[in-house]
Amino acid sequence: MGDMGGYRGPSLGVLQEAGVQVGDVVELDVGGELVKGTVVPRYQYNDDSHLVIKLKSGYNVGISVSRISSVKRVSAGERPAFVSQAPKPRSDLPEVAILGTGGTIASRVDYRTGAVHPAISSEDLYSLMPELSDIAVVKPEIVLTVYSENLEPGDWQKIAEKVSEAVSRGVRGVVVTTGTDTMGYTAAALSFALRGIPVPVFVVGSQRSSDRPSSDAYLNLIGAVSMAVSADLSGVYLSMHADTSDDRLAVHRGTRVRKNHTSARDAFQSIGVDPVAFWTRSGIESIATDAPKRGKGGFVAEPRFEQDVALVKFYPSMSTASLEAMAQKGLKGLIIEGSGLGHLNRKNIPTIKRLMDSGGVVCMTTQCIWGRVDMNVYDTGRDLLSAGVIPLEDMLAETALTKLMWVLANSRSPDEAKELMLKNLVGETTERSQQSRAS
Amino acid sequence: MGDMGGYRGPSLGVLQEAGVQVGDVVELDVGGELVKGTVVPRYQYNDDSHLVIKLKSGYNVGISVSRISSVKRVSAGERPAFVSQAPKPRSDLPEVAILGTGGTIASRVDYRTGAVHPAISSEDLYSLMPELSDIAVVKPEIVLTVYSENLEPGDWQKIAEKVSEAVSRGVRGVVVTTGTDTMGYTAAALSFALRGIPVPVFVVGSQRSSDRPSSDAYLNLIGAVSMAVSADLSGVYLSMHADTSDDRLAVHRGTRVRKNHTSARDAFQSIGVDPVAFWTRSGIESIATDAPKRGKGGFVAEPRFEQDVALVKFYPSMSTASLEAMAQKGLKGLIIEGSGLGHLNRKNIPTIKRLMDSGGVVCMTTQCIWGRVDMNVYDTGRDLLSAGVIPLEDMLAETALTKLMWVLANSRSPDEAKELMLKNLVGETTERSQQSRAS
């Protein structure tokens, strides 16, 4: 058997039945219309129900196998190089902005070199994911090309500004693609910067390189675009595979989600709450009743972040060197990921006090992931509280970091900042009764 | 109804039926023998099947309600203060060492003052937990009285030495009680220091203060002592509630366990593997076939740890200040809790290289909790690998910290240390096929 160029499932079946290999010229009967062209390899976004045919014009078209009533092999051919042309979008569909930041999801593999290139035009995207052209007029834009571990608060600002621009020109929804390493942090950061946004923003990525057969990229992007068009939601969400099968996405609140597995498709989990909704090809389901609906009217992004904020995870015997160094450099904010209910070792408390005396805002979260801090139970907690450390309830440490960065850039005094840190702005803390796991 | 002094369940039923309140003098028929004394309050370890009676001699005896055939109220009385005396142990039972380090589990509440005192004698323990006297001759010893967030590697050494002493004198098993905040770190540290120990060591604690009706202290300690006597296991385990009900403990491998909830009874979870076993009052069940069995013969603890090791959790925009300061102080080892498959931002890589150039050992783990690092997938990972950073597979960051502390104190060169870090010594890493969650 020859190289089948990444085809699988029903689309592979159609090719095999007709004795067709990638590179062959074929003639298809598509609902009575004859389409002639060359079968193009599909190494990346493995939708299994479309053939991609390069027409004589040079355009690539994606054709659903359900519409193909016959396949005739006309001649053997050279396997063509990847060409990024695709059918024209249907102008009657709503517009969705896709903002790329450098993750693997909006990339494609050059068939000859194996190199990964960002997919930069709508044509590229339609070619990679023919289904998209039936859902929306997508307007892709590469905002950044940065591995997500190198993203900085200034990059979040840039993304937030681009989202805001898209909303101003009336898009139906926005999809942000990014690397999964820090996707939880990015979703949280955008949640604060885009507070009050009237449409939904879906942050998506891919856990598997898009040139691997098990890539989750396709479903994640199709689902996000589909929800950007039709879901009655506003605000920032992270939407990724709900389980290890390739048919359901979970929609997580941007402030309550964490990457809990290095490599699994369902690496992202809502913490302390249920996902806001689920998505399958049949549509969106189980939308939480308290999820904000689409809105209208004025929206102004607040995209700035204070960079000089640190996150420190406490561990037994943690020396004072690290905090001292940061305090001496005039750190403006500190999130402590304490042990248990919100503790750290006694020897670091004087440094924390000095940091606060010089105007720094210090907050406590927990390294347990689940549950909430309670600093009234033990001496250490009470000492930290009375020194002025702010207990952040069940806020995730990662969310707390982005919130403190945002709060410090958008408040006029440490006191106002403290007040904002204790206020639930975009679902970043839950009520005790709301939690899905007993605490 | 008067104050029932903490009694509940069957024991409360017996008292109510006889119209007896705490402080009253009673005469009990216990298997034909008459026992006369004052009903003592039981505010702390809420076993519900024993009455505690203060005899005229001053001793407190715990009597199983199943052995009581009648209760006669002799007279009303003052409620007595807590007195820590109990029945003599049965010398035919095996000996179990209980080493206290300052957590809430081995403490009791003074009935009058509400203050929490450590339970320092076997009599105290038998009085608090009458069941113990039927299981083992317990030899409690307070090694430390330290909140667990303040524990240092030197404290782990002290505990390991005490365990070693107990093994030398022939105990059947050891129970270490400690605060839950850093209990996972302690279990991991002891796993390395006590490698090759021929008996089981159970690290236990209590998630709820022992004066709260929902305390898990009783079951955790009874279960640990019971397993110390009868489980065919060797090595270090952390054993705590398996779920939110109060009847089953999970036995976790000391190197694969993490506190994943701030306050729930079942806060501790095995990561990437199943628990080694479960325990109920019917005995131990589902022991993993690969769990090490009890051994014989020579055992020498290696209790030393290098203190100058740090754990740093990476976050977006992490500045170089913290690592630079630690590097300048001559840090000997560093565990990075990277993002995703094992990454951190590019700007910190030069500092890490300098740290390694000056002899420091730097290892990579992941903040995802589940899954394993794989630094061959992306540029950043490959750069770190080629710089000499050691990828620690699916080792927990907390376990990695204690292992590196131990390895640096027990190896002669950075090269030997690196070799040991990559070797699976006491189940701290798993084979890919072994993981209980797909990776």
Examine residue A434 and state whether it is found in any structural domain, yes or no: no
Q: What span, in angstroms and rounded, lies between the C-alpha atoms of A189 and A192?
A: 6
- Residue A395: the pLDDT is 98
The CATH number of residue B237's host domain is: 3.40.50.1170
- Residue B87: the pLDDT is 56
Close Cβ partners of A335 (under 8 Å, ≥ 6 residues apart):
A309, A310, A311, A312, A363, A365, A392, A397, A400, A401, A404
Label residue B117 by pLDDT band (50, 70, 90): low
Q: Is A280 a catalytic residue?
A: no
Question: What percent of chain A has a predicted confidence (pLDDT) above 70?
Answer: 85
Q: How far is B308 from chain A (nearest CA, A)?
A: 8
Label residue B439 by pLDDT band (50, 70, 90): very low
Residue from the list B307, B312, B368 with its beta carbon closest to the beta carbon of A261: B368
Higher pLDDT, A244 or B158: B158
Q: How far is A145 from chain B (nearest CA, A)?
A: 14
Contact B343 A147 (CB under 8 A): yes
Query: In degrees to the nearest 10, what's the CA dihedral of A304, A309, A310, A311?
Result: -60
Residue A16 has pLDDT above 60, yes or no: yes
Same domain, B330 and B382: yes
Q: How far is B61 from chain A (nearest CA, A)?
A: 32
Q: Is A181 a catalytic residue?
A: yes
Residue owning tokens 């109510």: B16
Q: What is the rounded average pLDDT of the residues A300-312?
A: 97
Q: Which residue of B has its CA nearest to A342?
A: B262
Same domain, B268 and B348: no
Q: Which of B236, B253, B285 is the last residue of a domain?
A: B285
Residue owning tokens 């709260």: B212
* Identified catalytic residue from A54, A162, A259, A403: A259
Label residue B396 by pLDDT band (50, 70, 90): very high
Residue B436 has pLDDT above 50, yes or no: no
Same domain, A61 and A99: no
Close Cβ partners of A100 (under 8 Å, ≥ 6 residues apart):
A106, A118, A119, A120, A140, A141, A142, A143, A144, A145, A177
Chain B residues inside the 8 Å CB shell of A148: 316, 339
Residue A239, classed as helix, strand or coil, is strand
- Residue A252: the pLDDT is 98
Query: In degrees to the nearest 10, what's the CA dihedral of A302, A307, A308, A314?
Result: 100
Count CB atoms within 10 A of the CB of residue B244.
12
Residue from the list A186, A262, A398 with its beta carbon closest to the beta carbon of B340: A262
Q: Is B364 on the interface with A (CB under 8 A)?
A: no
Residue A169 has pLDDT above 70, yes or no: yes
The CATH number of residue A71's host domain is: 2.30.30.520
Q: What span, in angstroms and rounded, lies between the C-alpha atoms of A341 and B267?
A: 12
Close Cβ partners of A152 (under 8 Å, ≥ 6 residues apart):
A307, B316, B317
Q: Which residue of B has its CA nearest to A180?
A: B340
Label residue B133 by pLDDT band (50, 70, 90): confident
Q: Which residue of B has its CA nearest to A317?
A: B152
Q: What is the rounded average pLDDT of the residues B229-255?
A: 95
* Identified catalytic residue from A29, A134, A181, A308: A181
Q: What is the residue type of A197?
A: I
Chain segment A244-270, per-residue pLDDT in tens: 888 999 999 999 999 999 999 899 999
Contact A370 B321 (CB under 8 A): no
Chain A residues inside the 8 Å CB shell of B151: 316-317
Contact A345 B149 (CB under 8 A): yes
Q: Which of A231, A250, A285 is the last residue of a domain?
A: A285
Query: Kind and range of the H or E element at A193?
Result: helix A183-193
Lookup: tokens for B282: 């019917």
Same domain, A63 and A145: no
Instruction: Give which of A147, A317, A364 to mutate to test B binding, by max B Cβ within 10 Å.
Output: A317
Cβ contact A258:A396 at 8 Å: yes
Q: Render the burial of B382-397: b for 16+ CB within 10 Å, e for the rest.
A: ebbeeebbbbbbbbbb
**Taking a contact as any Cβ pair under 8 Å apart, which residues of chain B between 157 and 196 contact chain A?**
179-182, 185-186
Label residue B304 by pLDDT band (50, 70, 90): very high
Chain B residues inside the 8 Å CB shell of A377: 209
Residue from the list A263, A308, A340 with its beta carbon closest to the beta carbon of B259: A340
Same domain, B208 and B328: no
Structural domain harbouring B346 = 309-425
Q: A with B: how many residue pairs have Cβ under 8 Å apart?
A: 200
Examine residue B84 and state whether it is found in any structural domain, yes or no: no
Chain mean pLDDT for chain A: 86
Q: What is the residue type of A290?
A: D
Chain segment A319-344, per-residue pLDDT in tens: 998 899 888 888 999 999 999 999 99
Instruction: Please choose, from the candidates B240, B253, B227, the residue with its C-alpha nearest in 3D space to the C-alpha of residue B172.
Output: B227
Same domain, A329 and A412: yes
Q: What span, in angstroms and rounded, lies between the C-alpha atoms of B399 and B256?
A: 8
Same domain, A53 and A18: yes
Count CB atoms within 10 A of the CB of residue A83.
15
Residue from the list B310, B346, B373 with its beta carbon closest to the beta carbon of A150: B346
Examine residue B246 and state whether it is found in any structural domain, yes or no: yes
Same domain, A184 and A104: yes
- ipTM value > 0.90: no
Residue owning tokens 């062209």: A37
Residue owning tokens 């055939």: B69
Same domain, A340 and A384: yes
Q: Is A372 exposed, middle or buried (0-12, 13-18, 19+ CB in 10 A)?
A: buried
- Residue B45: the pLDDT is 46
Same domain, B253 and B335: no
Label residue A63 by pLDDT band (50, 70, 90): confident
Q: How far is A317 from chain B (nearest CA, A)?
A: 5
Contact A149 B316 (CB under 8 A): yes
Contact B180 A267 (CB under 8 A): no
Residue from the list B182, B366, B374 with its beta carbon closest to the beta carbon of A316: B182
Q: Is A263 on the interface with B (CB under 8 A)?
A: yes
- Residue B214: the pLDDT is 56
Lookup: tokens for B3: 């104050």
With helix as H, strand as E and coil as C, how does B289-327 read? Answer: CCCCCCCCCCCCCCCCCCCCEEEEECCCCCCCHHHHHHH
Q: Is A368 on the interface with B (CB under 8 A)?
A: yes
Q: Which residue of B has its CA nearest to A103?
A: B378
Cβ contact B176:B204 at 8 Å: yes
Q: What is the rounded average pLDDT of the residues A60-87?
A: 72
Residue from the list B180, B308, B322 with its beta carbon closest to the beta carbon of A325: B322
Residue owning tokens 């005896």: B61
Lookup: tokens for A368: 């347990």
Q: How far is B343 from chain A (nearest CA, A)?
A: 7
Q: What span, in angstroms and rounded, lies between the C-alpha atoms of A164 and A158?
A: 10
Examine residue B106 and state whether it is found in any structural domain, yes or no: yes
Phi, psi of A106, deg, nearest 5: -100, 40
Residue A82 has pLDDT above 50, yes or no: no
Lookup: tokens for B329: 């102080």
Q: What span, in angstroms and rounded, lies between the C-alpha atoms of B123 and B59?
A: 9
Contact B260 A343 (CB under 8 A): no
Examine residue B299 and state whether it is found in any structural domain, yes or no: no
Contact B315 A401 (CB under 8 A): yes
DSSP string over B358-427: TT-EEEEEETTSBS---TTSSHHHHHHHHHTPEE-TT--HHHHHHHHHHHHHS-SSHHHHHHHHHS-SSS
Q: How many domains does chain A have?
A: 3
Same domain, A271 and A179: yes
Question: What percent of chain B has a predicted confidence (pLDDT) above 70?
Answer: 85
Q: What span, in angstroms and rounded, lies between the C-alpha atoms of A18 and B93?
A: 79
Contact B345 A438 (CB under 8 A): no
Cβ contact A361:A333 at 8 Å: yes
Contact A343 B149 (CB under 8 A): yes
Examine residue A436 and state whether it is found in any structural domain, yes or no: no
Close Cβ partners of A345 (under 8 Å, ≥ 6 residues apart):
A314, A316, A317, A318, B149, B150
Close Cβ partners of A41 (under 8 Å, ≥ 6 residues apart):
A3, A5, A6, A22, A23, A79, A82, A111
Cβ contact A80:A54 at 8 Å: yes
Question: What percent of chain B has a predicted confidence (pLDDT) above 90?
Answer: 57
Cβ contact A232:A294 at 8 Å: yes
Q: How far is B264 from chain A (nearest CA, A)?
A: 5
The CATH number of residue A380's host domain is: 3.40.50.40
Stated pTM of the model: 0.81
- Of B7-21, B216-230, B300-314, which range is least confident? B7-21
Residues of B with a catalytic annotation lie at 104, 180-181, 259
- Residue B84: the pLDDT is 46
Same domain, B38 and B137: no
Q: Is A316 on the interface with B (CB under 8 A)?
A: yes
Examine residue B434 and state whether it is found in any structural domain, yes or no: no
Higher pLDDT, B47 or A278: A278
**Taking a contact as any Cβ pair under 8 Å apart, which residues of chain B between 80 and 119 contact chain A?**
none
Residue A381, classed as helix, strand or coil, is helix
Q: Is B244 on the interface with A (CB under 8 A)?
A: yes
Q: Is A180 a catalytic residue?
A: yes
Residue A81 has pLDDT above 60, yes or no: no
- Residue B112: the pLDDT is 33
Residue A434 has pLDDT above 60, yes or no: no
Residue from the list B153, B264, B341 with its beta carbon closest to the beta carbon of A439: B264
Label residue A109 by pLDDT band (50, 70, 90): very low
Residue from the list B182, B339, B369 with its beta carbon closest to the beta carbon of A149: B339
Close Cβ partners of A267 (under 8 Å, ≥ 6 residues apart):
A180, A207, A240, A259, A260, A261, B368, B371
Beta bridge partner(s), residue B249: B241, B279
| Rg of chain B on CA atoms, in Å | 25
Chain B residues inside the 8 Å CB shell of A337: 313
- Looking at residue B155, what DSSP letter applies? H
Higher pLDDT, B375 or A363: A363
Q: What is the rounded average pLDDT of the residues B361-367?
A: 98
Examine residue A276 and state whether it is found in any structural domain, yes or no: yes
Q: What is the rounded average pLDDT of the residues A212-228?
A: 82
Lookup: tokens for A328: 């001496």
DSSP string over A258-305: EE-BSS-TT-EEESSS--SEEEETTEEE---TTSPPP--S--------
Phi, psi of A350, deg, nearest 5: -60, -40
Q: How far is A387 from chain B (nearest CA, A)?
A: 18
Contact A149 B345 (CB under 8 A): yes
